[in-house]
Amino acid sequence: MIRGLGAVVYKELLQLRRDPASLGLALLIPVIQLVIFGFAIDTEVRDVPFIVVDSARVRESREFARAFEATGTFRLKGYFDSRDEALAQLRAGHAKAALLFPTDFASRLLRGEIARVQVLVDGSDQTVAAQAQAAALGVAQSFTRRTAPTVQARVRFLYNPDGRSENFFVPGLAGIILQLVTMTLTASAIVRERERGTFDQLMVTPVSRLAITLGKLFPPILLGAVAAALVLSVMVWVFDVPIRGSLGLLVALTTLFVFTSLALGLFISTIARSQLQALMLTLLILLPSVLLSGFMFPRDTMPSPIYELTWAIPATYFVEIMRGIVLRSASAEELRHMILPLAGIGVGLCALVALRFRKTVE
Amino acid sequence: MSVANAERTTAIEARGLTRRFGSLVAVDGVDLSVRKGSIFGLLGPNGSGKSTLIRMFCGLLRPSSGAPIVLGLDVRRRPVQVRRRIGYMSQRFSLYDELTGHENLTFFARAYGLPRRRLTRRLGEVVERTGLSGYETPRAGTLSGGWKQRLALACALVHDPDVLFLDEPTAGIDPVARRALWTLLFELIAEGKTLFVTTHYMDEAERCDHLAYVYLSKLLVNGTPSELKALPDVNPPDTRRVEARTNRIQEALRRLETHPGVLEATVFGESIRLLVDDATTNRGLLAFLPDDATLAAIRPSLEDVFVTMTQRASAAAATQEGAKR
């Protein structure tokens, strides 16, 4: 028997029981994460939104679109009038694929010639792209078997024509890394001073709360900026992922995301009672950011409650924004539906931090 | 004394100061006043509310009711003005371990808004005053207890405050460092600063101009050391205090416990301090004690004062508790 082992185990178990928050987190984290990720992570692609530009307007074109949806891989998002409108939808990330029926689709079918349908696929997500291609070819083939004349689907991959996985992963990864750096730096900012008793010494000086908050944010912001520059440089020069969109917009939105991550970190700092709790809460937020933000697995495929949940994760918006600007050269206007909620979350978190901060002091 | 006069001569004042934490009352209706340029000692067992009281004076904690007033300013209404003129040294060492002494000092000097050109000179003065020379270069975390406390004091003094709050400044440091720190505190008094100190050491209490004793969140007594020693509670009628010296303390104590005239007996190293009734003569006591025992009349010590006050207060609290049920 190891001398005193029983005593140490006894004491450790008691301490664990006296720290219900940490205990709860320790038990809850694995259960929540397992349930959510178990349901959400599904490499089979389903319900990917697609759009249709139907210049033919005949029964056959509508049937083709319906058959495309019937594969289960795709979900019809709506009809648009022109190729340009369809491209804008793809750039903004509203849809991942578009079916384009030319005006002569019906007449060629009538004449018994080969009728062509063009399938535009957002190639930035490889899994989605491959499934889209398979579905389109499959539908065309079964169509050909039923109707005497041939329907040919021509699939074109947009944005990532070579199908490089770096193009898909690296922009998203850059966002995740930025969040990791800034959040972990701020999460223990206040709790560390409280644990060490330096907080009171700080609070008896005339330094204002705002000064403390901003002062504490300064190093993470600086490091966040350096990290962002490094990450983007590595993306461009090491992984050869060119930035197709506006660099200025990318920098501005990266700043917005860093700001939101810092606010999230500060929020943790105001609710955590110890540095250990701060670390666990950081993990609780970081894991969904990695697995549910669309960084690894397409969000469209996730079951509906979890899909709704992904809107609460700041990384979701930033992964979309990064891919939008870097790969699809999307404009601020086209990404508005991602930028506004991200800014909203950031401002909301700041308000929460300000509210919590007062309580933390006492 | 007129109100305006009181304003000029009073450094710290509390009127009905109360703080509750949920159902727990940590400080209960405390009234006190500290004269400028004096050293005020706050005593009381752990958990009696000493730190809570100090934290309210420093603006770290809002009172549930009552007003903490420092240098004529209501701490609740003008916390920033008060902070500029007070220094605070908390119970446990709370500077930045990974910064050097000099860096800690610089940080606090800048936090108090000292202009840069005055900073260097002021830091030099503070280092000189606290005898820190040579100890500003190592990291604060590596200093020994006594030097840490000196550094903490230096940081609390860096903006030349008029009032200093020291929460158990000498807890856990060796006697030599303790004495050195008190020498420093007296020098600060000589400069006209006002000191508010909590302590558990009776010899430190003895050095204060004015003392207050808190027990179970309430301020029990308040006065100069000699006033407290002269309190009727401490000197019950028809009793006197004697000190018995002997080499056989344990035996003496055992015997005294059976003596009907001995009301209190407390061992102090090689002596026993006794409270006896007037009916008990020295001769009668000596007959009770070991052969080598000698007796001497003594005045009540501060410890006698606080032990008596605590016993009376806890007895009263117990009766009150009993009455409630």
Mean pLDDT over the full length of chain A: 83
- Between CA B227 and CA B224 the distance in angstroms is 5
Instruction: List, for residues B267-313, the tens digit of each pLDDT value.
Output: 888 888 888 888 888 888 888 888 888 889 888 888 888 888 888 88
Same domain, residue pair B85 and B194? yes
What's the gap between Cα A323 and its chain centre? 10
Q: How many residues does chain A have?
A: 362
Domain count across chain B: 2
Distance between A222 CA and the closest CA of chain B, angstroms: 20
C-alpha separations of A243 from A229, A250, A251, A310 in Å: 13, 9, 11, 26
Residues of chain B found within 8 Å of residue A361, distances taken between Cβ atoms: 60
Question: Looking at residues A219-228, what average pLDDT do you find?
Answer: 83
Distance between A267 CA and the closest CA of chain B, angstroms: 21
∠ at Cα A130 (A125, A132), nearest 5°?
95
Same domain, residue pair B86 and B33? yes
**Are A204 and B88 inside 8 Å of each other by CB?**
yes
**Are A203 and B61 inside 8 Å of each other by CB?**
no
- Is B316 part of any domain? no
- ipTM confidence: 0.79
CA dihedral A201, A205, A210, A214 (to 10 degrees): -60
Instruction: List, for residues A300-333, the tens digit of each pLDDT value.
Output: 778 888 888 888 889 999 998 998 898 888 889 8
Highest mean pLDDT among A124-133, A148-157, A272-281, B176-185: B176-185
- Between CA B323 and CA B325 the distance in angstroms is 5
Same domain, residue pair B87 and B218? yes
Reply yes or no on whether the pLDDT at A254 is more than 50.
yes
Give kind and range of the element (H or E) at residue B214. strand B210-215
Mutation site, A193, A200, A209, interface B, largest B CB count within 10 A:
A200
At A31, is the pLDDT very low, low, confident or very high (cuts 50, 70, 90)?
A: confident
pLDDT score recorded for residue B6? 59
∠ at Cα A357 (A25, B20), nearest 5°?
90
What's the gap between Cα A115 and its chain centre? 38
Q: Which one-letter DSSP state was computed for residue B142? A: G
**Are B59 and A201 inside 8 Å of each other by CB?**
no
Residues of chain B found within 8 Å of residue A204, distances taken between Cβ atoms: 58-60, 83, 86-88
- Is B60 part of any domain? yes
Side chain identity at residue A205, one-letter code: T
Domain extent, residue B172, equals 3-224
**Are B94 and A197 inside 8 Å of each other by CB?**
yes
For residue A208, which phi and psi values (nearest 5 degrees)?
-85, 160
Q: Hey, which CATH number is domain A48-158, 3.20.180.10, 3.30.590.10, 3.40.1710.10, 3.40.630.30?
A: 3.40.1710.10
How many contacts, defined by CB atoms under 8 Å, are there between A and B?
Answer: 46
Q: Which of B224, B251, B274 is the last residue of a domain?
A: B224
- Between CA B75 and CA B57 the distance in angstroms is 7
**Are B61 and A202 inside 8 Å of each other by CB?**
no
pLDDT score recorded for residue B221? 87
A204 contacts B164 by C-beta, under 8 angstroms: no
- Between CA A67 and CA A114 the distance in angstroms is 19
- Between CA B107 and CA A207 the distance in angstroms is 11
Closest partner CB to B60 (pick from A196, A198, A203): A203
Same domain, residue pair B143 and B200? yes
**Are B94 and A198 inside 8 Å of each other by CB?**
yes
- Locate the domains of chain A by residue range: 48-158, 165-361
pLDDT score recorded for residue A362? 52
Buried-exposed string A199-222: b where 16+ CB fall within 10 A, e elsewhere: bbbbbbbbbeeeebbeebbeebbe
**Are A207 and B111 inside 8 Å of each other by CB?**
yes
Same domain, residue pair B186 and B245? no
Query: Chain A residues within 8 A (CB-CB) of chain B?
Result: 196-198, 200-207, 361-362
Residues of chain A found within 8 Å of residue B93, distances taken between Cβ atoms: 197
Same domain, residue pair B166 and B244? no
Same domain, residue pair B165 and B268? no
**Are B94 and A204 inside 8 Å of each other by CB?**
no
Same domain, residue pair B26 and B136? yes
Hey, what are A203's tokens? 């609070």
pLDDT score recorded for residue A104? 85
- Is B307 part of any domain? no
Closest partner CB to B94 (pick from A196, A206, A361): A196
Reply yes or no on whether the pLDDT at A222 is more than 70.
yes
Closest partner CB to A197 (pick from B90, B112, B155): B90
Closest partner CB to B90 (pick from A201, A206, A362): A201
The CATH code of the domain that includes B57 is 3.40.50.300
Closest partner CB to A201 (pick from B62, B94, B97): B94
What's the gap between Cα A39 and its chain centre? 17
Minimal Cα distance from B52: which residue of A?
A: A362
Radius of gyration of chain A (CA): 26
Same domain, residue pair B164 and B49? yes
- Is B319 part of any domain? no
Lowest mean pLDDT across A98-112, A260-274, A347-361, B238-252: A347-361
Mutation site, A204, A210, A212, A216, interface B, largest B CB count within 10 A:
A204
B196 contacts B54 by C-beta, under 8 angstroms: yes
Partners of residue A54 on adjacent β-strands: A101
* Residues in chain B, pLDDT under 70: 1-7, 324-325
pLDDT score recorded for residue A360? 53
Same domain, residue pair B16 and B84? yes
Highest mean pLDDT among A7-11, A227-231, B81-85: B81-85
Same domain, residue pair B64 and B193? yes
Same domain, residue pair B114 and B149? yes
Radius of gyration of chain B (CA): 23
